[in-house]
Structure 1
Amino acid sequence: MTDGTDFVELARIWRGPLVESVHRGTVVVANFEGRLLGSWGDAGLMTFPRSSLKPFQAMALVECGAADAFGLSDEHIAMACASHDAQPFQIGLVGDWLGRLGLGEDALVCGPALPRREADQANAFAQGGPRRIYHNCSGKHCGFLTVAKHLGAGLNYGDAAHPAQQLYLDILSDYMGRDATKLPAGRDGCGLPALAVPMRNLATAAARLGLGYSGNTARRAAAKRVLGAMAAYPDHVSGLDIATSRIVRATGGRVVVKGGAEGFVLAIVPEKGLGICIKIADGSSRAKYGVLARVLGHFGVLPVAEAEALIEQVSDPITDSTGALVGGTEIVFEKPVPTSETKATLGFWLGGVKEAFF
């Protein structure tokens, strides 16, 4: 990573009348030309977007013809972009997908896992415990498997030199405007290669993805289909009615969102030609969607009042063991000056602070 000078304060966590924690990070907004429209922190920060790169990986599935060859629906395409909760409808789609390939889940490189939700975990244990199909990246792995099988290139798609990986890197290079094969690489939690990308380049790539930017006709069509699938099936990409789904629905599908591990999130705003990248420096995810909601208001994607209300919808409440509200999240990034009092702008904890100190 880098030292703290690359980051700015983005959010504060309040408990009663005091700030208990602070989240710092970097926010970068760019257009398809690569021009920075906003940069808070170091726009050149090299970091791992992790699962936020999945839309570019899914494009390979569509571009090479593999998706059509195996009769995949847009629901499958959304699952290729997913970091899913392994809810029954998601597992059903992944199982159907493997059936279309004539493969078992042992063909997946990702390791066995459990569903994220307690109720689904109980069912998983009743059916034998952890499985590869439950891994939150199993949809992405099915995508790579499909490309590998379609290309007749062998099923070792986890190898960085595999044609399926190389096609993805070619797509990412096209959209970033730089050679992705020259970027630092590690290994992701699911066992596949993980690239480190400068935030400015990825924000540019996101803006270009939203516009279907490419000289390659099949690539432009792939971009349109992937974004359309993510907008149409936001619950597939994550889980039922969680923060990413709420943002997509609040914007009527005009914003496509893909979260990544360790506090990263990528957003694409096709109608305004914007790509947005957010990285929370400490790796926490609890503030990143609230920061994104503030960005949407700041750049006029949503009216400010709607964006501020959305912050509350995507920020988890801080409660005690009885469920009573004891604190909250304040997004301090580019805080607007309210023209009228609203629930969104006058949180209970802020009122408590004024009473305690003024």
Structure 2
Amino acid sequence: MTEPAGPEPAGAEPALLAEVLRGDCVESRHRGHAIVCDARGDIVAVWGDPDARIFPRSSCKMLQALPLLESGAGAGLSTEQLALACASHSGAGMHVTRVAGWLDALGLAERDLRCGSQVPDDAAERHRLRDTGESPCQLHNNCSGKHAGFLTLNRHLKGGPEYVEIDHPVQVAARGAFEEMCGAPILGWGVDGCSAPAFVTTLRGFGTAMARMADPCGLGPARQDAAQRLVAAMAEHPLLVAGEGRACSELMAAMPGGVAVKTGAEAVFAAILPGRGLGVAVKVEDGSTRGSECAIAALLVRLGALDADHPAALRRLGAPSLSRRGATIGAIRPAEGFYEAGRRL
């Protein structure tokens, strides 16, 4: 069962964040909400409704991983394992083998996961499975690293095997960390695609949580250390967080200063900027990933974290649409009222 979130209060209309062109004409528009917050919860900049209710989905895996380190359960984990705990990976060989090794070190196996099997997004691994006649398994699930982290915490807490249940000690700890970082109780919950609980908060709440990951000085020693280790691991291992060609991996690799970014299903995107102590949250209302990738790249440029001329930025800020014959027929771009030609925030 899920807790009802209740009627959403009326707020500001969604802002135009990105446009899709065909030729010189706008064919589609992506509207949504975006916010930049500091660790006090103060709004630095906002487009749309700061009180819009959202499921952060996989963009909040860093929050779900905090109890893993705060409890001491993950004290011996490598930076690669911490990056995987925050990952929505492509199911490539580099992801699958590392998660399998993590489980083996725990004395566990693929069958102990509760995330479900998934056809990998990684083309090479899909082809390997096809050529060998193997079936995808739970290790290929984009959330298998997060679930390996849950199992590591579960062993420490001595909980039962169904660690994805809402009242299980692992999920009670995850919910507590989520609420404390967002600065408010959850507004409801559902079940994510990987079977773990997915919590509802406001855009401002989630932006505040990301800012507290960026500037955790007021959170106490254990949480400060946990937040810093997770953010640093993501920035150190961008390919483990997502994969080849993925926006999270490419954007993190393009930015100095340990900036971490994370996508979530249904067009949510988050960014953590340790150098400035800021957090960013984006939600595109139509659920389009192309819109959220364009919007997060635009904000990273405006915040001075991403060079607008870097190939990783150009692929999101003006990515061309091609015909079947390879001709450029259009593009996606940030809306001018949102991007303001890259004017710094």
TM-score norm. by structure 2 comes to 0.90
- Residue 320 and residue 21 in structure 1: after superposition, are their counterparts in 2 closer, same or farther (change >3 A)? same
Shift of 1:261: 0.4
Q: What displacement does 1:319 show?
A: 1.5
The residue number in structure 1 matching 2:4 is none
Q: What aligned pairs does 1:226-237 form with structure 2 within 5 A after superposition?
A: 226-237=230-241
Q: Does structure 1 residue 168 correspond to structure 2 residue 170?
A: no
Instruction: Name the SS for the 1:29 alignment partner.
Output: strand
Are the equivalent residues in 2 in contact too, given 1:230–1:256 (CA < 8 A)?
yes
Of the structure 1 ranges 1-10 and 153-162, higher mean CA displacement relative to structure 2 is found in 1-10
Measured in 2, the distance between the counterparts of 1:163 and 1:104 equals 21
> What is residue 24 of structure 1 aligned with on the other side?
31
Task: Name the SS for the 1:335 alignment partner.
Answer: helix
Aligned to 1:301: 305
Partner deviation per Cα, 1:96-146 (whole Å, 9 max, x = no partner): 011011112111111111111333212123242121111111111111111
> What is aligned with 1:317?
320
Give the equivalent residue in structure 2 for 1:157.
163
Decide which structure has the larger Cα Rg and report it.
1
Pick from 321, 325, 331 the counterpart of residue 334 of structure 2: 331
Task: Return the offset for 1:165.
Answer: 1.1
**1:278–1:288: 8 Å Cα contact kept in structure 2?**
yes
**Distance apart, 1:306 and its partner CA:** 4.5
In the alignment, structure 1 residue 131 sits paired with structure 2 residue 134: no
Number of the residue aligned with 2:61: 54
Question: C-alpha displacement at 1:60, in angstroms?
Answer: 1.4
Give the equivalent residue in structure 1 for 2:3: none
Shift of 1:41: 0.4
Mapping for residues 160-309 of structure 1, pairs under 5 Å: 160-180=166-186, 183-302=187-306, 305-306=308-309
Residue of structure 2 in register with 1:64 after alignment: 71
Counterpart pick for 1:44 among 35, 42, 51: 51
Deviation of 1:302 (Å): 4.5
| 8 Å Cα contact 1:227-1:256 kept in structure 2 | yes
Deviation at 1:152, TM superposition (A): 1.1
Matches of 1:319 and 1:197, distance apart in 2: 38
Contact 1:114 1:124 in 2 (8 A): no
Count residues with an aligned counterpart: 333
Contact 1:132-1:138 at 8 Å conserved across structures: yes
Q: Give 3-state SS (helix, strand or coil) of 2:116's partner.
A: coil
Residues 202-258 of structure 1: CA deviation (Å, up to 9, x unaligned): 101110111124443111111111011001001100002422122212221432101
With 47-56 and 233-242 compared, the bigger mean Cα shift is at 233-242
Cα distance per residue 1:70-103 (max 9 Å; x no partner): x421101100111010011111111101101111
TM-score with structure 1 setting the length = 0.87
Q: Is the 2:257–2:275 Cα contact (8 Å) retained in structure 1? A: no
Q: Secondary structure at 1:112's aligned position in 2?
A: coil
Give ranges in structure 1 of 5+ residues lacking alignment: 340-358
Partner of 2:240: helix, strand, or coil? helix
Aligned residue for 1:120?
125
Instruction: Tell me the distance in 2 between the aligned counterparts of 1:120 and 1:4.
Output: 45
Shift of 1:263: 0.5
Asked whether the equivalents of residues 298 and 334 of structure 1 are also in contact (C-alpha less than 8 Å), the reply is no
Counterpart position of 1:89: 94
2:240 counterpart letter in structure 1:
H
Is contact 1:257-1:265 (8 Å) kept? yes
Structure 2: which 5+ runs fail to align?
1-6
